[in-house]
C-alpha cells in the first residue's frame, strides 16, 4: 500500500476509535447483553451471581405469548397504532395543506401547532388528565352545555384508550405538519397550473398531482409515527397508570413493569418482540408505500 494512503488509513482509524469505543460500550454492548439476557432466567435476585443464571432458550418468549396480560397489551398497542397513525397523519396533512395556502401569519400558526411537541410530555399529560376529569373537567363541562352527560373518559375501559390516542394526536401532529409543509412547498407549481388549466378540480389536483409527489414524505412520516405509537408509554403512565383493568397498558408499559418487578429476562424478551414488530411493520410500509418507479 502507498505510504501516504497507509498513513491516512491509520489517521482515520485513530479518529474513529473514540466513537467506536463509546458505541460498543454504551450502545452495541447493552443491546447484545439484553438479547442474551432474553434467553436466560435472570432476575433481580441473580444480580450478585450473574454467571449462575441458566440458559432457557425460547422459554421467555413462549411464556410471553401464552400470558393473557401480554396478549391484552399487544392488542392495546395495535389499537394505538391503527387508530393513532392514520389520525396523526391525516390531521398533520390537513393542517399543512391549509398553512401552505395561507398568505399571512403562517409562521405564527406553524409555531403554535408545533408547540405541544416541545412541551414536556408529563406537563401535557397532567393538563389533559384534568381536562378529561369526570367531574369538573373542561370537556364534560362543555358537553353539559348541550345537555349531554359526559362519561369519565379515563375511568372507562371503553373510552380511556381512545382518549389517550386523541391526546397523543394533538401532541404529535406538529412534527409531521412541519415535514409535510416543507414537502408541499417542493411541489412544482407548473404541474398544478397545468392540471388546473386542463380543468382539474382542487381535489383532483391534490389527489393526482400533490399526493403522488408526497409519497416518499408520507412513507417517512408513516414509519416514524408508527415507531412512536408502538412505543406508546408516557401518556398512559402519567394519565391512567395503565388502567382501568389494563385497558391502556401497552407493550412498552408491560416491559417497564417487568423490569420493575425484577423479571429482567422476561422484560428483555418483551422488548425484543416489540423490536421485531417494529422491523416487520417498517418493512411492510416500505413495500406498500415505496416509489414504484
Residue partners of 81: CB distance under 8 A and separation at least 6: 226, 229, 230, 281
Q: Which residues contact 231 (CB under 8 A, 6 or more apart)?
A: 250, 252, 274
DSSP state of 105: S
Q: State the pLDDT confidence band at 47, using cuts at 50, 70 and 90.
A: confident
pLDDT, average across residues 55-60:
93
Confidence of residue 293 (pLDDT cuts 50, 70, 90): low
Distance separating alpha carbons of residues 284 and 268, to the nearest angstrom? 24
Question: What integer pLDDT is reported at residue 292 of this predicted model?
Answer: 63
- Calculate helix-pair angle for 215-230, 68-100, nearest 10 degrees: 140
Does the structure show a pLDDT above 80 at 50? no
Would you say residue 243 has pLDDT above 90?
Answer: no
What beta strand segments (E) does the chain contain?
Answer: none
Q: Global pTM?
A: 0.88
- Cα distance from N-terminal residue to C-terminal residue, the chain: 42
Amino acid at each position: 500500500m502507498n505510504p501516504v494512503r497507509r498513513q491516512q488509513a491509520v489517521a482515520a482509524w485513530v479518529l474513529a476509535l473514540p466513537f467506536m469505543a463509546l458505541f460498543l460500550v454504551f450502545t452495541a454492548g447493552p443491546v447484545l447483553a439484553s438479547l442474551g439476557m432474553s434467553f436466560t432466567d435472570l432476575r433481580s435476585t441473580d444480580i450478585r451471581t450473574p454467571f449462575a443464571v441458566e440458559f432457557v432458550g425460547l422459554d421467555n418468549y413462549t411464556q410471553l405469548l401464552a400470558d393473557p396480560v401480554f396478549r391484552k397489551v399487544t392488542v392495546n398497542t395495535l389499537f394505538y397504532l391503527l387508530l393513532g397513525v392514520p389520525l396523526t397523519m391525516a390531521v398533520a396533512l390537513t393542517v399543512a395543506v391549509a398553512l401552505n395556502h395561507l398568505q399571512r401569519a403562517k409562521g405564527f400558526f406553524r409555531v403554535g401547532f408545533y408547540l405541544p411537541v416541545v412541551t414536556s410530555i408529563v406537563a401535557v399529560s397532567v393538563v389533559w388528565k384534568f381536562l378529561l376529569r369526570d367531574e369538573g373537567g373542561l370537556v364534560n363541562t362543555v358537553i353539559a352545555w348541550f345537555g349531554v352527560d359526559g362519561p369519565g373518559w379515563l375511568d372507562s375501559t371503553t373510552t380511556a384508550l381512545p382518549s389517550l390516542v386523541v391526546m397523543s394526536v394533538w401532541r404529535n401532529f406538529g412534527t409531521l405538519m412541519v415535514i409535510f409543509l416543507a414537502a408541499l412547498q417542493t411541489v412544482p407549481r407548473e404541474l398544478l397550473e397545468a392540471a388546473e388549466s386542463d380543468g382539474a378540480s382542487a381535489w383532483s389536483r391534490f389527489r393526482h398531482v400533490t399526493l403522488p409527489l408526497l409519497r416518499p414524505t408520507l412513507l417517512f412520516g408513516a414509519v416514524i409515527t408508527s415507531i412512536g405509537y408502538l412505543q406508546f408509554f408516557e401518556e398512559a403512565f402519567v394519565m391512567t397508570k395503565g388502567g382501568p383493568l389494563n385497558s391502556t397498558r401497552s407493550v412498552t408499559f408491560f416491559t417497564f413493569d417487568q423490569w420493575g418487578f425484577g423479571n429482567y429476562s422476561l422484560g428483555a424478551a418483551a422488548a425484543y418482540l416489540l423490536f421485531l414488530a417494529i422491523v416487520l411493520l417498517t418493512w411492510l410500509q416500505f413495500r406498500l408505500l415505496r416509489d414504484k418507479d
